[in-house]
Amino acid sequence: MEMEKVIRSLVGTVVSHTRDKSVTVLIERWVKHPLLGKVIKKFKKYHAHDETNQYKTGDSVIIVESKPISKTKSWIVKSLA
């Protein structure tokens, strides 16, 4: 039996594209508070690899997990969402 590798992907918004071949992507998710039951927004930023420097601030993109590219980058921008 072969194990299928699951590739994680996330949809977010580019918030910074100042570095060469890198973008910062903001991921927003809604979670329910365990005690209060109120639904709240949580945010997390990921550094992603953008080989062609084509994605700009404000673009909605899909990022996929990859092997580590640098100390902080282990995601690659796949396409516009």
Show the domain range for 66. Answer: 9-80
CATH code for the domain in which residue 58 is found: 2.40.50.140
Q: Is residue 73 situated within a structural domain? A: yes
Q: Is residue 17 situated within a structural domain? A: yes
Long-range own/partner contacts, residues 22-25 (CB < 8 A, 24 or more apart): 22/47, 22/48, 22/49, 22/50, 22/73, 23/47, 23/48, 23/50, 23/55, 23/61, 23/77, 24/48, 25/61, 25/63, 25/75, 25/77
Read off the pLDDT of residues 26-50 as tens digits, 9 standing for 90 and up. 999 999 999 999 999 999 999 999 9
Domains in the chain: how many in total?
1
Binning pLDDT at 50, 70 and 90, where does residue 4 land? confident
Higher pLDDT, 75 or 7: 75
Read off the pLDDT of residues 58-79 as tens digits, 9 standing for 90 and up. 999 999 999 999 999 999 999 9
Q: Is residue 3 situated within a structural domain? A: no
Residue 54's pLDDT is 95
